[in-house]
A and B are shown apart, each in its own frame.
Chain A
Amino acid sequence: DTAVSQTPKYLVTQMGNDKSIKCEQNLGHDTMYWYKQDSKKFLKIMFSYNNKELIINETVPNRFSPKSPDKAHLNLHINSLELGDSAVYFCASSQEGIEAFFGQGTRLTVV
């Protein structure tokens, strides 16, 4: 049973399109995150939700909108995709103050 699962694993799309990435965790954790990993492998935090409430919103374009229907799910919707959005996006979950578990990542390629 996968603890943190993301779909899709690969996403290839054209500039200007809108796309969503879904994330689900079955660990009972209260906190979920979205990270972006660029080509240099740097993992940059984008958003953090605690019990469905947004608690961290880093400086990301408004085109990125997270949605948490319940504490086990955190989806990421991206509008008007740009070439620079190409990266690997990771979802993660944790219980407060302890280690985070990551999903398998979604490799987004914008062409």
Chain B
Amino acid sequence: QKEVEQNSGPLSVPEGAIASLNCTYSDRGSQSFFWYRQYSGKSPELIMSIYSNGDKEDGRFTAQLNKASQYVSLLIRDSQPSDSATYLCAAINQGGKLIFGQGTELSVKP
């Protein structure tokens, strides 16, 4: 079992729709969780971090964390073609390692 798992996609949504990206993690001792966006040929850039249960909103992005279910999600409202990228879920496990999921490719169609 991978430590951090995501649906690899691709996930395709129409412009203006909500994109929902999901992630599960196996190390119950993980405390810090992140969503990164990576455009093709570029480096990952942080878009959200979340450390406690519940929702965290930043503009069109909402991260959700449920530690009991070991589940992290990212919602992108009013999706734009410029949101088309690979989204990487990451967690810092109990050993202090920053571990990434395999990424979900998102395509937003105009």
Contact = CB atoms under 8 A, between A and B. Distances in A.
A51 interface: no
Given A90-B43, A105-B43, A43 B100 contact: yes
A103 B49 contact: no
Contact of B96 (A44, A55, A90, A99): A55
A46 B100 CA distance: 12
Contact of A97 (B32, B46, B90, B100): B32
Main secondary structure of the interface of B (DSSP, over half): strand
Given A94-B98, A96-B96, A98-B49, 10 more contacts: A43-B103, A45-B98, A45-B99, A45-B100, A92-B98, A100-B90, A102-B44, A102-B45, A104-B43, A105-B42
B107 to A, nearest CB: 14
Contacts of B26: none
Contacts of B60: none
What are the 4 A-B residue pairs with the smallest beta carbon separation, nearest first? A43-B100, A102-B43, A99-B46, A42-B102
B7 interface: no
Interface residues of B, number: 23
Nearest to B35: A99
A54 B46 CA distance: 25
Contacts of A35: 100
Given A90-B44, A98-B49, A102-B43, A45 B97 contact: yes
A42 B98 CA distance: 13
Contacts of B98: 33, 45, 48, 92, 94, 100
